[in-house]
Structure 1
Amino acid sequence: MTPKMPNCSFILFLIIFQAVAASSLTNETDYEALIAFRGQITSDPSNALSSWNGSIHFCNWNGVTCGKKHQRVTALELPSLKLAGTLPPHIGNLTFLRMLNIFENGFSGILPEEIGRLTRLQTLSLDNNSFEGELPRNLTNCADLSHMGLGGNNFHGSIPEGLGSLIKLAVLWLYTNQFTGKIPPSLGNLSALTDLALAKNHIEGDIPPQLGQLSKLTHLRLQLNDLSGPIPPSLYNISSIVMFAVGGNNLSGSLPSDLFLTLPKLQGLYLGINMLSGPVPSSITNASELVVIVLSSNAFTGPMPTDLGGLKKLQSLFLGGNLLGTEQGDDLRFLTSLNNCTDLRAVWGNYNNLKGTIPDSVTNFSTTFTLLALHENFISGAIPSRIGNLVNLEWLTLYDNMLTGRIPDSIGELSKLQLFSIGLNNISGVIPSSIGNMTSIIYFFVLRNMLEGAIPSSIGNCAHLSEVDFSQNHLVGNVPEQLFGLSLVSIEAAQNNLTGPIPYRIGKLVNLQNLDLSENNMSGEIPSTIGDSVVLQWLYLQGNHFSGTIPPSMSNLKGIAFLDLSRNNFSGQIPGFFADRPFIQNLNLSFNMFEGEVPNRGVFQNLSVVSVTGNSKLCGGPLGLQLPKCIEAAPKKGHKSQSRMTALAIGISVSIFLLLTGVIISARFFYRSSRSVREETVTSLTEDRHLKLSYMELSQATDGFSLANKIGEGSFGVVYKGILPSSEQTVAVKVLKLQERGARKSFMAECEALRNIRHRNLVKTITCCSTLDSQGGDFMALVFEFMENGSLEKWLHAVPNEAGGSETDMTLGLLQRLNIAIDVGNALEYLHHHGQTPIVHCDLKPSNVLLDSEFTAYVSDFGLAKFLMGDQASGRTETSSIGIRGTIGYVAPEYGVGGEVSTKGDVYSFGILLLELFTGKRPTAMFSGDFGLHEFVERSLPHGLDQVLDPLLRLKDVQGNLHECLVSIQRVGLMCSAAQPNERMDISKAAVELQKARSILLRGKTGRESCVLDI
């Protein structure tokens, strides 16, 4: 039967009806969806949506693109605008949408199910927001998707099996979330996939062999999960692979011998922190495209292939923490072949079983070479004499080996060297005076060797030197005075044969925290200037020939924690101010010649802390010290004549008093006549202390305050990078937003705070400017030193160049993070305890911590700072109407209920910042079970350390000392961020504990020293 044809008029009617319907949707549905989107925005600091109003058609709104034919929205692009809010269900009504890009904002909440209605969607870019919940299963309806970017959020649950049906997907980024479960084998069906990024989640189980079907894959990123089992051989057959990253898991097995033959395009191989074993494949010599190879923290054995000259593009070779080495020795021959790698920058061979000598050929490495780490091996022989050829070397760590010979004179040619660590070897001879040419050196560690001679005075040229350790050598002579003209944090020279006194210039070391001169032959008195080193925490002088009394200026050492003066010749009374030092954990005054009464209060009541044994003339004190009672002096014979002398003394005193009164009265006339002149002089000096800059000069420096020079923005100001025309100095200019309520008050508060403080970890103010702008309006600005590495915020929460790509891109290492925490702690400790008046910062957070070129941290932005007067400084809290003072997530809980500002509030913010430093998680992130960051860390320690640490730092199956150190650091953060102010650790105590952890980690004393901190 011939089918009946439909009526043509009816078909025409349907076409017209659909066109009319589409037209109505253009004017209503898309508009309403965009309005709903705007209505869910809670923060728009850059006014990106200011054009979203009825004055222009919505197709002309910022970030909106419409199709020309139907005027339907085809793209919504609002990336990197710091928008905050949620994504409304109405987004599903934009049915013509092909691109949704809100990358790097502050969106939160769940991803609405309605997004599955966007069947035309090709690009979904939601990376680096705070979305949560499970992925909508109906995302599989978006069959045209080619780019799905959901990384850097808080999505949880399992990865939907149905994603394997999106056969047009070329990019699938789910990195840095909370996904659990297994990798769906169905992902192997994504034949167009080029980039698969599942890094930094909690995915477990085996890697599906089906992923080997992804013949176009170039980037495979599965690192930092809980994957186990062997790496499927099928993955080694994807010849298109450029980056192969599976580090930070529990993968086992060995590598195939032909690995580098089947992956000819491989540039980055990241296998670190697993349980892989067996030899390193000899086929590595054919990997001509390799740039980075990471094999560290596994169980690889045997020799390293010796012919690596074919790796022409190699930049970094990470081999540390394995079992590499042979019984025969000569295990470092592979280094010679690296001379052909003209881009080589770093070689890590530490924590292995490498034997043999360091070949002289390493001195011929590329001029790009910056780091050589061979510590904790069994390396013998001498340091190559021509080591100075490596002119760009920044790190040289050879400690804990069996090295002999001398420190080469050529070491002084390493003008860019920052870390020199050769401790725990058998190196002899003198320390060459050429070290004075190492002008970039920060850490100089030569402890536990057989060095002799004097410490060269040329060390005074090392202006950036922060820590030195000369301990346990055979050094003689005086401690050079030039050493005390630097900005040192730690000086250790214990167990040598040093003589002479402590240099009087010690007071110039205002940042000195640790001084250990114990077990030497030094003499003289403790200089009174030691009181100027107000942040000193460890002072070890035991086992010398020091004499004299304890200077009263030591009462300025408010944060002293460990003081050992035992086995010297000190005399006089024990000062009472020691009793008032709440942070003292060890006070050893034994075997001296102290006399008189021992204080019977404070720290002296704690017998486990104080020792005064071997001072025969002491009396009194707590009963536990078992000292004799003090005997009151009896009146002497001839008391009548003594009374006469007393009367005579009184008469003389009265006469002197009357004479002085006359002098004072006369002086008052001179004072009044000269007072106005003197005040003018003081004012002038104050005004001239800082550079004076006009509005025009600042405008010229910042190219008219152009957006191209804008580097940051806060509640009350915008920060620009500028170059001062007069001196060509690069500066940061903070221009106050005077239209904002409270901006003027913030400016005055910041000026007042910065006028009263000075510390190496507080941002340096160049000048302030309060004048009129070119339009005659008020203008206020602060000019600071420019910090090359920007804010800590940028480094903790940076957008990766590639999703989960290089583990070193924009990533801070463990030691860097700990150094930053200590720097910030030192700054707060100074503000709270060592200024004329205690200062509370009130807004400590990563964006207010700036990093210079060497990653030294500086606390900035004192716009909310408050000076404490009287009993406010004690840290107590009272009801107040000030409201919340600070930033949500970092502000202390008591501020939210009207608590008075106190130093305890800063300690809370510091604790949260410390937890954020080591977890990589914002305090405003959402954690399962409605927990906050504090509770998330607290419930995971100590056994869930790997679940707490930032995955880029996570160490699998680490036992002993390092595990204890990391747990203890986290506990410092927990104790600082306790809910109740009186339960929080004092900032001085926190800084002490973190300093101890750094001291142990820097020296690499694994297994030699306990890292259970005193918390």
Structure 2
Amino acid sequence: MLGNLTSAITIYINENRFNGKIPPSLGNCQNLILLDLSSNNLTGTIPKEILGLSSLSIYLDMSNNFLTGSLPSEVGHLVNLAELSASGNKFSGEIPITLGSCATLLVLNLGSNEFQGTIPQSLENLRGLEEIDLSGNNLSGHIPQFLGKLTFLKHLNLSHNDFEGELPKEGVFLNTSGLSILGNDKLCGGISQLHLPACLKKKAQSSRGILAPKVIIPVACALAFICALSCFIVGRSMLKKSKAVFVTSPSYKDWKSVSYFELVESTNGFSVDNLIGSGSFGSVYKGVLPSDGTIVAVKVLNLQQPGAFKSFIQECKTLSSIKHRNLLKIITACSSIDNHGNDFKSLVFEYMVNGSLDMWLHPKDNEESESKRLSLIQRLNIAIDVASALDYLHHHSEASIVHCDMKPSNVLLDEDMVAHIGDFGLARFLLEASDNPSQSQTMSAGLRGSIGYIPPEYGMGGQVSTLGDVYSFGALLLEMFTGKRPTDDMFGDHLSILQFTAMAMPDHVMDIVDPSLLVIEREDEDTTNDDSNDNDIQENKLQNIKIAAWSNEEAWRNVLVSVIQIGLSCTAISPGERMHMNVVVNKLNGIRNSYLNLE
């Protein structure tokens, strides 16, 4: 029956009591990007037909079943796959060298099986690997040096195998929190924190060596028994812990099925006329789905751009696990082959009629400037929308999420000018427990985000955190009310947007606010009744714009001062001095209520 779901893009049947064999007919589902069969009672071997599904790109999860036999060499056909999990089964034989063909693999989990032999050298080709789990097998030989050269590898679990020899001293092997080598008693060397014995050079044995077995063998047997018992206890506790961490998985059940050719049709062949924007990893086109007439935004990934595939996987995972009125809604994803035989990956979103906040804050020409003016209440509403979305991501989603790239071009406005945060290609889940969740580390931070909005601690190798998002929001808030980008030409080594606004506070706040905030449109009925004099018409049009004369200027100044103070607080150099987003939401709502009471 499952084989008849030829249009399905996801099959998600984990944590049930299905038994029997995996049906080879699943190979008919040529549009699948995700297949999750984990935590059932499935038996038998993996059908080669499934491993021929080159469309699989997000993950293939067969973990925690009773599958047997070897991992077929056809696994190398999964060249688009990001995550392969086959842990907790009874697979045996050697790890196939063809895995080295899965160049886009980010996570490889083959733990708790019966694999034998060595770690294949071909895994050296998987440069993007972030996690490897080969624990609880019967693997032997030396741990290859290339594992320490995988730049992005942050978690490596080789525990409870039979590895021997000297442990490498670079890359992940320098990170004791990301490395596990328990239960490999023949290992030596490594960094001192691992407390492994020193590696002995091969020398001529002393004469006592002949008698040593009489003493060593009984002692070794006793130690082996103690070690085996300890490993069993530790292994069970680790298994329980790992299951506890991943109790929830992304749900793609509501996603529509859409093919490459439907997207071509909907965007007029990805026509330049349909192009509505471009970013670091691809271009966005306006389209109309032929199946139901839905107007959509189609984000097409440029897979030649380094990190684009990783961005695609991350955005799929993030958007499938969150739901909020101020987050851009994803409709579906498409992973296929284009008409030239090249890999094609895209994300399909709700279309936002009013474009990005960036377009409204920084119109490109005079005509656009006339039509795109945001009032004070609109800016407050948008700021509250963005803050509410970040508050949800940080404090109310299943796992705390850091957006990592907050800026005006990633804030999109619908027909009612309600703001929606988009572009989660850099987002990170905070899965690790911490006494201070806002400071939980997800992975090496590096420079994540866009210049002008990146918190200073990221530039110094600090941790990715929710407080990093708070800094980016603060920079965005200052930009919204001053009309100046953090990268404006007026800012340099001696002046930043933070200093620019701080120096004006509070007495000169009116000198730094966006001039368009001080401009209002005044309709002049006379211009519609007198068409005879062109000069009069032009003069009347000019008079339609004037500096606003407020009845209570002091109250308006207080509103603007309060907003900018929040922006400055959010952009404090020390993360600990920044507001959390739930506090920001409450304060902005209070300011808006004060503004409305002035009306």
C-alpha separation in 1, matches of 2:302 and 2:593: 43
Q: Secondary structure at the match of 1:870?
A: coil
Deviation for aligned residue 1:801 = 2.8
Q: 2:392 aligned with 1:792, yes or no?
A: no
Q: 2:463 aligned with 1:900, yes or no?
A: yes
Q: 2:512 aligned with 1:945, yes or no?
A: no
Q: 2:588 aligned with 1:994, yes or no?
A: yes
Q: Which residue of 1 aligns with 2:567?
A: 973
Deviation for aligned residue 1:766 = 0.5
Q: Which residue of 1 aligns with 2:295?
A: 730
Q: 2:317 aligned with 1:760, yes or no?
A: no
Q: Which residue of 2 aligns with 1:813?
A: 375
Deviation for aligned residue 1:855 = 0.5
2:579 is aligned with what amino acid?
A: M
Q: 2:422 aligned with 1:828, yes or no?
A: no
C-alpha separation in 2, matches of 1:901 and 1:879: 6
C-alpha separation in 2, matches of 1:933 and 1:871: 35
Aligned mate of 2:273, from 683, 708, 711:
708
Q: Please list every run of 5 or more consecutive structure 2 residues that lacks an aligned counterpart in the other structure.
A: 1-247, 519-547
C-alpha separation in 2, matches of 1:774 and 1:757: 33
Q: 2:402 aligned with 1:837, yes or no?
A: no
Q: 2:508 aligned with 1:914, yes or no?
A: no
Is the 1:880–1:899 Cα contact (8 Å) retained in structure 2?
no
C-alpha separation in 1, matches of 2:313 and 2:588: 34
Q: Which residue of 2 aligns with 1:190?
A: none
Q: Which residue of 2 aligns with 1:28?
A: none
Change in 2 beyond 3 A, CA 1:838/1:686: closer
Deviation for aligned residue 1:962 = 2.0
Q: Secondary structure at the match of 1:911?
A: helix
Deviation for aligned residue 1:947 = 1.4
Q: Write out per-residue CA displacement over residues 502-561 of structure 1, whole angstroms, 9 at most, x where no aligned residue.
A: xxxxxxxxxxxxxxxxxxxxxxxxxxxxxxxxxxxxxxxxxxxxxxxxxxxxxxxxxxxx
- In the alignment of these two chains, the number of paired residues is 320
Q: Write out per-residue CA displacement over residues 47-98 of structure 1, whole angstroms, 9 at most, x where no aligned residue.
A: xxxxxxxxxxxxxxxxxxxxxxxxxxxxxxxxxxxxxxxxxxxxxxxxxxxx
TM-score (norm 2): 0.51
C-alpha separation in 2, matches of 1:732 and 1:885: 25
Change in 2 beyond 3 A, CA 1:888/1:769: same
C-alpha separation in 1, matches of 2:295 and 2:594: 37
C-alpha separation in 2, matches of 1:947 and 1:717: 39
1:715 is aligned with what amino acid?
A: S
2:415 is aligned with what amino acid?
A: S
Is the 1:765–1:782 Cα contact (8 Å) retained in structure 2?
yes
C-alpha separation in 2, matches of 1:757 and 1:836: 8
Deviation for aligned residue 1:690 = 1.2
Q: 2:451 aligned with 1:888, yes or no?
A: yes
C-alpha separation in 2, matches of 1:687 and 1:802: 42
Aligned mate of 1:861, from 423, 429, 445:
423
Is the 1:946–1:956 Cα contact (8 Å) retained in structure 2?
no
1:837 is aligned with what amino acid?
A: A
Change in 2 beyond 3 A, CA 1:857/1:995: same
TM-score (norm 1): 0.31
> Which has the higher Rg, Structure 1 or Structure 2?
1
1:692 is aligned with what amino acid?
A: S
Q: Secondary structure at the match of 2:258?
A: coil
Q: 2:410 aligned with 1:848, yes or no?
A: yes
2:270 is aligned with what amino acid?
A: F
2:502 is aligned with what amino acid?
A: E
C-alpha separation in 1, matches of 2:368 and 2:305: 38
Q: Secondary structure at the match of 2:276?
A: strand
Is the 2:413–2:419 Cα contact (8 Å) retained in structure 1?
yes
Change in 2 beyond 3 A, CA 1:880/1:869: closer
Is the 1:926–1:932 Cα contact (8 Å) retained in structure 2?
no
Q: Which residue of 2 aligns with 1:927?
A: 490
Change in 2 beyond 3 A, CA 1:827/1:696: same
Cα RMSD after superposing both structures: 2.3
Q: Secondary structure at the match of 2:439?
A: coil
Is the 1:831–1:840 Cα contact (8 Å) retained in structure 2?
yes
C-alpha separation in 1, matches of 2:444 and 2:393: 24
Deviation for aligned residue 1:735 = 0.6
Q: Which residue of 2 aligns with 1:514?
A: none
1:292-311 equivalences under 5 Å are none
1:366-515 equivalences under 5 Å are none
Q: 2:301 aligned with 1:739, yes or no?
A: no
Q: 2:530 aligned with 1:936, yes or no?
A: no
1:784 is aligned with what amino acid?
A: F
Q: Secondary structure at the match of 1:727?
A: coil
Q: Which residue of 1 aligns with 2:577?
A: 983
C-alpha separation in 2, matches of 1:723 and 1:878: 40
**Which structure: greater helix fraction?**
2
Deviation for aligned residue 1:833 = 0.1
Change in 2 beyond 3 A, CA 1:956/1:867: same
Is the 2:385–2:420 Cα contact (8 Å) retained in structure 1?
yes
Deviation for aligned residue 1:928 = 6.6
Identity across aligned pairs (percent)? Answer: 50
Q: Write out per-residue CA displacement over residues 877-925 of structure 1, whole angstroms, 9 at most, x where no aligned residue.
A: 7797542000000011111111110000000000000000000000001
Deviation for aligned residue 1:956 = 7.3
2:564 is aligned with what amino acid?
A: Q
C-alpha separation in 2, matches of 1:783 and 1:803: 27
Deviation for aligned residue 1:997 = 0.9
C-alpha separation in 2, matches of 1:879 and 1:831: 15
Deviation for aligned residue 1:689 = 2.4
C-alpha separation in 2, matches of 1:988 and 1:882: 24
Q: Which residue of 2 aligns with 1:147?
A: none
Q: Which residue of 1 aligns with 2:138?
A: none
2:410 is aligned with what amino acid?
A: N
2:372 is aligned with what amino acid?
A: M
C-alpha separation in 2, matches of 1:771 and 1:792: 32
C-alpha separation in 2, matches of 1:716 and 1:773: 18
1:127-138 equivalences under 5 Å are none
Is the 1:813–1:953 Cα contact (8 Å) retained in structure 2?
yes
Change in 2 beyond 3 A, CA 1:812/1:789: same
Q: Secondary structure at the match of 1:953?
A: helix
1:972 is aligned with what amino acid?
A: I
Deviation for aligned residue 1:874 = 2.0
Q: Which residue of 2 aligns with 1:553?
A: none
Q: Which residue of 1 aligns with 2:5?
A: none
1:945-964 equivalences under 5 Å are 945-954=509-518, 959-964=553-558
1:241-640 equivalences under 5 Å are none
C-alpha separation in 2, matches of 1:876 and 1:906: 11
1:781 is aligned with what amino acid?
A: S
Q: Secondary structure at the match of 1:1000?
A: helix
1:961 is aligned with what amino acid?
A: A
Is the 2:433–2:440 Cα contact (8 Å) retained in structure 1?
no
Q: Secondary structure at the match of 2:588?
A: helix
Is the 2:491–2:497 Cα contact (8 Å) retained in structure 1?
no
C-alpha separation in 1, matches of 2:549 and 2:499: 22
1:718 is aligned with what amino acid?
A: S
Change in 2 beyond 3 A, CA 1:1002/1:883: same
Is the 2:251–2:321 Cα contact (8 Å) retained in structure 1?
no
1:947 is aligned with what amino acid?
A: D
Q: Which residue of 1 aligns with 2:240?
A: none
Is the 1:879–1:898 Cα contact (8 Å) retained in structure 2?
no
